[in-house]
Structure formats: structure tokens, C-alpha cells
Amino acid sequence: MLGHYPPKHCSRPFGNCNSGNSHREPYVAAHNMIMSHAAAVDNYKRNYQATQGGSIGIVIAMKWYEPLTNSTEDILAARQALSFEVDWFLDPLFFGDYPREMREMLSSNLPKFTSEEKRLLQNKADFIGVNHYTAIYAKDCVSSPCDLKSYEGNALVQAVGERDGVAIGRPTAFHGYYDVPEGMELIVKYVSQRYENTPVYVTENGEWQGRAIRNSQCVQKNA
């Protein structure tokens, strides 16, 4: 993984930075984010929820992954890609630990939850917010050569937009993103079924047009 913003850490093959470890640091950062969320949920539920009657949840950006082919390897690759994108953040919040696929593949590069952290994780989110913009094909990289410079590479999966020269959906103005309406239905079903029918809200969806929208396109002026 490549850090685009300060402190701009990375390591090869993901980039050429002055310092960093792309195989471990992203998981440490994510671990701290998960525990920050857990602490906020714990504080809200103990001190405010009963009187305010509010809900507290988490929003995750997530693609839908389709196997590039019907091979067992690509089917497994699609599952692993979801694990490294969706389950990575939600499994700890609902099941108390990282998904099995990540624990097995990353070993010591993946932080472990302490007993105190697991106590905080017992406070489940009241809802899950889904930011979804595209579906993509998942290609297995265990038994076939791949370019593993994207973050999916840590799952030994390559995300590709075309199968036999045909795009998975209508290409949008944002490189690598495609208009695949069924992807929204599939990812919402996946999240709902995996996480005990926790309420799911679509918090982001849409398409970047790649150009400014003139006021005349949005506002009808009075004659």
C-alpha cells in the first residue's frame, strides 16, 4: 500500500518512499482506527445513548468483487478480496477478531487484539454505512502471474476491470470505476447477511463526471 498523504510511508513494490513498510503499517493504522471507533461506541453507549436515544455506527467504503473466471481459484480470490476490504474492519466490530483469511495470510504483520481491546469490541455498531461506487473482477495471484502493486495485492488478488476485453460495466470518468448497478444489491446483501442483519444504510453512491457542472444544468432560471 502507498501512503499518498503525510507521512507518505510505503515500501517496494508499492512505491519508493523514504521510509515505511507497506506490508505492516497499513494494518497497524487500521487497527488503531478500529479501536478508536470501539472507544467512541463504548463511551456513547455508556454515557449518552440511554438519554439521547441515538444510534452509532460505522461507514465503510467497499467494492463488490466478482470472480474473473469460474475457476475455484478466482472464486476464492473474490472472497479474499472482500475479506481484505470489508471484513477487515467489520469482523472485529461484530465478531471480536480479524477474518480468518487475513490472520492466516498476514501472520505477524496483522496486529492482535488485547483482552482489553476485545472488551471494547463487545459494543457492536447499531448500523453499517455502505459507500459503494463500483464492482470489479478479482483474479487469483497464487497460481497465475499478477501485478500486485494495489492494496488487493496483500490478499494475493489483482483487481481487473475487463474479462476477455469486455468491461464489467460502463466505464466512468474515474479510472478503474464502472457503472455496475447490481453491485450495490450484492454488497448490501453480503453485509446484511454476514453481520447479523444489522441495519444497513447507503451513505455514498454516485458517479464522478470528470467535468464541472454548469449552473444551467442544475437550476432552471425564471423567464
Catalytic residue ranges? 204
Contact call for residues 160 and 139 (beta carbons, < 8 A)? yes
Beta strands 170-171 and 178-179 are antiparallel
Q: Indicate the SS3 state at residue 196.
A: coil
Q: Indicate the SS3 state at residue 145.
A: coil
Which amino acid type is present at position 14? F
Distance of CA 78 to the CA centre of its chain: 13
Place of cell 472464486: 75
| Enclosing H/E stretch for 61 | strand 58-61
Report CA-CA distances (Å) from 107 to 101, 111, 154, 205.
10, 9, 12, 34
**Would you state the cell numbers that stand for residue 35, as one nine-digit string?**
479501536
Contact call for residues 101 and 80 (beta carbons, < 8 A)? yes
